[in-house]
A and B are shown apart, each in its own frame.
Chain A
Amino acid sequence: MSTSTHAVVPPRLRRSFPARFVRNREALLGLVVLVVVIGVSVLAPWLAPEDPNAGDAGNVLAPVGAPGHLLGTDDQGRDVLSRVIHGGRGALVVAISSVTVAVVVGTALGLFAAFAGRRTSGVLMRVVDLMFAFPVILVALSLAAILQPGAWVLIGTVVFAAVPYVTRIVFAEARIEREKDYVEAARSLGASEAAIVRTEVLPNLISSVVIYGTSLVGVNIVFTASLSALGLGIQPPDADWGRMISEGAKVLVTGHPGVATFPAVAILLVALAFNWLGDGLRDVLNP
């Protein structure tokens, strides 16, 4: 029926993802910060003024602004600035990759459980309860026994610890979505359950997933640092923000706050960037 003539033609909208993204200042800011941080981390060997692991026992705990050491030195006489520049490499890789995996797996499990039959879903969610119940420390120790302590242990632990959370959040929301009419409509349009879950329901959950996922990144940089401190993760003397904080904590209140504070600020910045990116993405994905 092309009978109706359109005197008022609806305007074309700029709805492509990049267009929306760029319009969103928050997301853009987050992205820029991240790109800068990642860029600095990647280029660390060229950017860092000193070898981050080269100590100078004759010049330990130099104050901020000491000649040759803009941010001072730590208790081994290593250049804090260089260590901060290098320290994000492991942290970022571990946090980002593990959170990504956890979010993807958790979302998949949550959606599956929400749409599976009651029995399957019951069993699956109980398995998730079970994962919940396991202290991460034990998980980390077991992993460290199987693998060697290092990045893989951290990634595995974070994934194990975060998956149940994501799963439960997604499950709870998906169960509500499941009852909505559009799901029935999609079913009537021949969508398989898998397609419904993936292409219809997921877009409606993405905001929760994004919020949760981006909240997790910062949290997990810190968390992995604590695991490293237990000797299960990144090993000294390699620079790592989290470790730098726990090591710098020794001198935090004894006149050398910088050693721990600069990496703390770096973590904070990354976490904030992810938060911004997450809030922004939520707006972009949820117009």
Chain B
Amino acid sequence: MVRRILWRLAGLVPLLFVISLLVFFIAQAGPADPVKDVLSQKMSAEQIQQIREAYGLDRPAWEQYLTWLKEIFTNGGGLSLSVRSPVSGIVFPAFLNTLILGAAATVVSVVLGVAIGFVSGIRHGRTADRVVMLFVQIGSNLPVYWFGLVVIWLTAVRWKWLPPGGMHDLRGDGGFGDLLLHLIAPAFAASLVSMLIIARFVRAAVIESEQSDYVRTYRSQGFGRAAILGKHIGRNILSPIVNTTGLTVGSVITGVVFVETIFSWPGIGSVLLNAIGGSDYPVIQSGILLVATTFVVVNLVTDVLLDLLNPRLRHGGA
């Protein structure tokens, strides 16, 4: 097991290297020209060339790549092309914000998803099952665009319960409670899709393990339903929960772009989108590398957890 984990950790290095390569060259191969896109309106070809030189964009791609790689380690990715400020200062805070939103959304989707899936699984086929599932199904399939606006309109404009967006109240001093208040609506909106998926998986798993022989054994021993559900069914559906949760973290992070837009959440999504629009390679590259690293780590943790959860897989052998 230790070897397996170490092996995976070691595997991160080439993986991230490949990702960095791909990210770099895909970003570069795009049709866009950063200088032309952003500045060209007023400039002559000669001036554009000057700026390209100033930014080192005239050098061969591999050289640029090496420079970038070096900069990743030395100063977090160099300077943004469009705003000439350190990439790390642009990418990290935004990414942190996305992580906050992502974590909140993950918590919401896992907690609600598991709860809903559980309830509907144990009430399989009854009214409660139908109602609860319909509720998540409707929730998750409402387009975020539509749903987000309606939520803002109702909770912020109409009833004035929640702020209409942003991360904190610019007039207040922005405490933790304020952040939570601002998180509610976007986290909920961002969690919907994963919530449905988790709920459906949990429901299926509950139904399946309720019919299993070992649950019958425990029932025959007079264990209460709650105890069986909590311990045995709960434990045996942990794997699917962990697996889908791992996926949720990922999908929430990449999927929040639209949520970020609607709820004006200053996250990595809008930074990347802006950077792509401005062909701001250093930002795109470093941003994606950061997101990619997160993914890879989340997947690694998920895999290790899954191994640990399944006694049969634990000892790697057999």
Contact = CB atoms under 8 A, between A and B. Distances in A.
Establish whether A and B are touching in the complex (CB under 8 Å): yes
Interface of A: 122, 125-126, 129-130, 132-138, 141-142, 145, 161, 165, 168-169, 172-173, 175-176, 179, 207-208, 211-212, 215, 218-219, 222, 225-226, 242, 245-246, 249, 252-253, 260-261, 264, 267-268, 271-272, 275, 278-279, 282
A133 B296 contact: yes
Chain B interface mostly: helix
Contact of B146 (A126, A138, A249): A249
A218 B258 CA distance: 16
Given A253-B157, A260-B145, 16 more contacts: A133-B288, A134-B288, A135-B288, A138-B26, A138-B284, A165-B250, A172-B240, A172-B243, A173-B243, A208-B204, A211-B201, A215-B196, A242-B143, A253-B149, A253-B153, A272-B134
B258 A226 contact: yes
A126 B15 contact: yes
Contacts, number: 151
Interface in B78-134: 133-134
B153 A129 contact: no
23 contacts: A122-B7, A130-B18, A132-B299, A133-B19, A133-B291, A134-B288, A135-B291, A137-B257, A138-B276, A165-B250, A175-B306, A211-B200, A215-B140, A218-B141, A219-B140, A222-B141, A222-B144, A245-B145, A249-B146, A253-B150, A260-B146, A261-B146, A272-B141
Contact of B143 (A133, A245, A272, A278): A245
B203 to A, nearest CB: 9
Interface in B23-61: 23, 26-27, 29-31
Interface in B198-253: 200-201, 204, 239-240, 243-244, 246-247, 250-251
B11 A137 contact: no
Contacts of A278: 200
A123 B272 CA distance: 28
